[in-house]
Amino acid sequence: MRSEDVPRVRLAVIGNADVGKSALTVRYLTGRFIGEYRSNTDLLYNKTITLNGGLTEVEIVDVYAGNADDFPIEQVLWADACMVVYNITERRSLNYATKCLGEIKALQNGPSAYLIGNKADLDHLREIPEKEGAALAAAHSIGFCEVSVAEYTPILSKAFEKLIIDSRAQPQKQIRKFSVSKMLGTLMGSSGYGSSRNLAINQGTVIPCHKGELHKTRPLKRRQGFMATSSL
Ligand SMILES: Nc1nc2c(ncn2[C@@H]2O[C@H](COP(=O)(O)OP(=O)(O)OP(=O)(O)O)[C@@H](O)[C@H]2O)c(=O)[nH]1
């Protein structure tokens, strides 16, 4: 199959600071947990996956939240689907997820969504009952699960698969405002799982980007010597 024939899905992972968006994205893409990230910008990942027996190119923007509670409208408009993440030990993060889901719902022809409550291993610190997350998701007719990205969590892949499938069921966006396909330039290693030196995404790429760069159609300049371990 030619690469231009492979269907592409664009995902945005959004949520408050520190809910585990980067950890969750990397866990999904590599199967590995990286405990500490130091990033002050959005990160854009690309990987071709096999889904339902066919190939799908997945682009994921891991949205840097900072300390602001702003809704990341540019990234959401770019995306076909949003993974909305909160931390079960922090009510503020559920409030922010609620706000985001409301904003997504208000968009005409907006992206589909899925709600994830992360850090389920910290049950003793829980502020959000699981049924509250489930009720919020049900109110928006979207999927929901709790995960602990810090632990082996096969349900995470199922959640992404559902989100990708749901996004395909949405009508195609009439106007694609941005294209980032040419931005994907920094190879993060080839063999992936098992390398102890690099965080390598198998057959994938990751680049740091600013939300404004999602609008650009010209290729990003390659960032030379970019190492995931030093940048994620
Ligand atoms: N206990 C526990 N800690 C987690 C889990 N997932 C992530 N963390 C930790 O939560 C902290 C924040 O994780 P990040 O992935 O950087 O969170 P983020 O949402 O990307 O944060 P920003 O980049 O600031 O928006 C890190 O110290 C992670 O190790 C989890 O499932 N359980």
Which domains can be identified in the chain, with CATH numbers? 3-230 (3.40.50.300)
Handedness of CA 216, 222, 223, 228 (dihedral sign): positive
37-41, 132-136, 191-195: range with highest mean pLDDT = 132-136
Residue 122 has pLDDT above 60, yes or no: yes
Q: State the closest ligand 1 atom to the C-alpha of 25, by its place in the atom list counted from 1.
A: 15
The pLDDT value recorded for residue 3 is 64
How far away, in angstroms, is 169 Cα from ligand 1 center?
Answer: 31
Q: Which residue has the higher pLDDT, 170 or 97?
A: 97
- Beta partners for 8? 57
State whether the beta carbon of 37 lies less than 6 angstroms from ligand 1: yes
Q: Which residue has the higher pLDDT, 168 or 185?
A: 168
Q: Which residue has the higher pLDDT, 31 or 156?
A: 156
Helix axes 91-106, 130-139, angle to 10 degrees: 10
Q: Which of 13, 22, 25 to mutate to test the pocket of ligand 1 (most atoms within 8 A of CB)?
A: 22
State the pTM of this model. Answer: 0.81
Rounded to an integer, what distance in angstroms lies between the CA atom of residue 6 and that of residue 48? Answer: 9
Name the DSSP letter for residue 187. B
* Cα 119 → chain centroid: 16
How far away, in angstroms, is 89 Cα from ligand 1 center?
Answer: 12
Selection from 37, 10, 43 nearest residue 160 by Cα: 10
